[in-house]
Structure 1
């Protein structure tokens, strides 16, 4: 398990931001651009603030999203909205290089439309993990866990809603997968994943890099 453990959520976010900046510089040099998918959650918000202060070749960055709620772009629940107000409004990314999922559309249509704008391969997919072990909008017991393709509409009965989400095929096809996880509530699930137990959706992410705070890592075996 490739884990990077830091004392606090802020330190975890700062480290992820530094890794993002380094990946962007490397990708811009080697391939001309960084194609990265963002996620929702509290830790990415801290990362966004940190990124605003770093040396990132923003004109060479293309932004995507790993999942989205079925809301419009100005809704505070929108992952796009969170990224916009936390990061995108502050950095010089050309508007045409910011690709949001259109959560206000029919979910199936939005998923099909989004699959059509994705690059052949993403460089980095940033993900979080819920207390129930879900990642992106691939929740336990939902049909999306076993769906193929690149982007899907996934009904999430436990949330009484639909979500738009990358599939595991799409997530695992990226060059790198980063999981940003903080808080003691996540510790039991992480410990089960290490033991190969639980059958949690996040366990299907292949060879991820885990950015953890000490609380989330609290139940992991000591190194």
Structure 2
């Protein structure tokens, strides 16, 4: 079983404010300790609430690197791009924004993954924070259950990123992905998981009970996490 501390909120707005507060604290601590912060965030609906609040905080953004847990293999100006969301809210902050997508490889997920992996080798790991979301099927980042699950979780530990094709393709974003690897996500100094709704609470609870042998991607990632895990939940 994987241990996690749960934080429950009456509504998603209150949860979003607390997430922004906690990320601000982590950034300040990292800058004070080592001069720079590496923060990994997801795309999705909750970040859309958190990012405007966080971006308005009085931080030395020039010492912050923001990176995504995963992104769709599309151009940066495509509405499906998670990097577009990051740019919208933090593009004028002074933070370093890191895209996982090399637009030279939009038609080749394997090459796109290798390009991202090579790019990320120049950064100082582990990350100070990895913020994970979770889908109804237990996927996290772009590590999905299905035929590509083993490829995603069993690669070399030094690999930072890889290209994957979810099967079946999610109808809202039917494209390949580039995702950070299990070892990269699990090695962060702090890991937070943010979910909403009763169904996701049940899925995550089951995944935590299964631990590192979980059949669900989120369970596998959290099962290999050595840092403390904080779960933020709201209806």
Q: Which TM class, normalised by the smaller chain length?
A: 0.7 to 0.9
1:184 aligns with one of 198, 201, 213: 198
| TM-score, normalised via structure 1 length | 0.86
Q: Using the TM superposition, name which of 73-82 and 186-195 deviates more.
A: 186-195
State the partner residue of 1:59.
Answer: 62
Residue 193 (str. 1) matches residue 200 (str. 2):
no
Structure 1 distance, partners of 2:141, 2:208, is 20
State the partner residue of 1:202.
Answer: 218
SS in 2 for 1:98: strand
CA deviation vs aligned residue, 1:192-217 (integer Å, no higher than 9, x gap): 2344386211012224221211x2xx
CA deviation vs aligned residue, 1:24-59 (integer Å, no higher than 9, x gap): 111111100001112111111111021123222211
Q: What does 1:55-204 correspond to in 2, within 5 Å?
A: 55-85=58-88, 87-93=89-95, 97-102=96-101, 104=103, 105=105, 106-118=108-120, 119-121=123-125, 122-141=127-146, 142=148, 143-148=151-156, 149-159=159-169, 161-196=175-210, 199-204=215-220
Structure 1 distance, partners of 2:134, 2:85, is 17
Q: Unaligned stretches of 5+ in structure 1?
A: 216-223
Q: CA deviation at 1:60?
A: 0.7
Q: Using the TM superposition, name which of 68-77 and 108-117 deviates more.
A: 108-117
Residue 7 (str. 1) matches residue 37 (str. 2):
no
SS in 2 for 1:10: helix
| TM-score, normalised via structure 2 length | 0.82
Structure 1 distance, partners of 2:38, 2:205, is 31
Q: Using the TM superposition, name which of 144-153 and 65-74 deviates more.
A: 144-153
State the partner residue of 1:220.
Answer: none
Structure 2 distance, partners of 1:4, 1:56, is 25
Q: Unaligned stretches of 5+ in structure 2?
A: none
Moved >6 Å (runs of 4+): none
SS in 1 for 2:18: helix
Q: Is the 8 A contact 1:68 1:103 kept in 2?
A: no
CA 1:44 to 1:193, structure 2 compared with 1: closer, same or farther past 3 Å? same
